[in-house]
Amino acid sequence: MTVLHLLSCTLLVLVQHSKVWGHNIVNLRRGIQTHNAGTGTVDTMTKEKLDGLEKKFYETGKEMQNKKKLQQKQLVESDSLVSNLADTLGNAWVKIKRRNAPKACMGKVDITFIIDGSGSVNAPDFAKQLQFIKSLVKEFNVGPNALQVGVLQVCSNAVQEFNLNTHSTEAAILAAVDRIKQKRGGTNTALALSTARTSSFTAAEGDRPNVPNIVIVMTDGQSNNMVATAREATMLRNIASVSAIGVGSNVNTVELKAMATDPDSKYMFTVKDFCALSNIEITLATVTCEEATAAPTGKDKRTRE
């Protein structure tokens, strides 16, 4: 029994402390089998104990492997979370600094926003488009001698929510944006682009001579008629710069490029969802302000076809 007791104690020490547990257990089993064949003194209980310890070894090893994999996964997820948090905090800090600073842009510019009110956009995402408009407006000085804003909504038709000369203060524009209700239906982008060209940018609706015209289009998918959309965008670009924003995985980048002013790297944007619109806010505000403060080119951009 002294030999058996010694073997059991040795096995327990190996299970708890050795880096080569498996090899040692196999060697012990072989030793006991040899001892059993030579003397016949190893009983069934000892074999069962050895079997149990061997099973415990393999279960412990498997558990350690699973824990290691889990730790590696958590480490990757943690790194990703920290990176995303840093980006979010960075953007938030920039916005806080800009809000506490004087208005970022003092130039004159007439902007018409074209928002997607089609049935494929859910209510919370429609609200994010409105918030995006308000955030951009806050980057500019607003008034008859500064920024003017109009809003068109794309649905089965094109709805002029308000014109460039409807509201002359920031507070009035923000309140008007908050009152916009989603119309739903189809995505008649071509009609919205045509309306911007033939109605929104007219003197009767507040368009000013020798002031840059800018259109900012948001869409979560493809229009009802891509050919008509491309044709109307081409005519609209004769009188305005067009920034095209595609949201989500269903956007058609070919159509976005057809709408946007060249170069696409400056005037075309894609974001993964409506929450991510805030990620391009500063870039778009900068591009828009550059247009607003650029020296006149002498070209009459109000020639309509």
* CATH for 221: 3.40.50.410
Residue 304, pLDDT above cutoff 50: no
The answer to the question of residue 263 being in a domain is: yes
The answer to the question of residue 232 being in a domain is: yes
Domain that holds residue 126: 111-294
CB 182 within 8 A of CB 222: no
Q: H or E segment at 111?
A: strand 109-116
The answer to the question of residue 237 being in a domain is: yes
pTM, to two decimals: 0.67
Give the pLDDT band (50/70/90) at residue 244.
Answer: very high
Mean pLDDT of the chain: 82
Q: Spell out the residues 6+ positions from residue 224 whose beta carbon is closer than 8 angstroms to its own.
A: 186, 187, 188, 189, 190
- Name the more confident of 91 and 11: 91
Minimal CA–CA distance to 258: which of 292, 282, 290, 222? 222
- Count of structural domains, the chain: 1
DSSP 103: P
pLDDT of residue 300: 46
The answer to the question of residue 2 being in a domain is: no
The answer to the question of residue 199 being in a domain is: yes
Cα separation, 218 vs 246, whole angstroms: 6
Neighbours of 216 (CB within 10 A): 24
Please, which residues bridge with residue 242 across strands?
Answer: 215
The answer to the question of residue 160 being in a domain is: yes
CB 153 within 8 A of CB 193: no
139-170 residue pLDDT tens: 999 999 999 999 999 999 999 999 999 999 99
176-186 residue pLDDT tens: 999 999 999 99
The answer to the question of residue 20 being in a domain is: no
Burial letters 25-52, b for 16+ CB under 10 A, else e: beebeeebeebeeeeeebeeebeebbee
Cα separation, 132 vs 247, whole angstroms: 13
Q: Spell out the residues 6+ positions from residue 68 whose beta carbon is closer than 8 angstroms to its own.
A: none
CB 232 within 8 A of CB 218: no
Residue 97, pLDDT above cutoff 60: no
Alpha helices in 110-207 (DSSP H): 123-137, 170-178, 189-195
The answer to the question of residue 79 being in a domain is: no
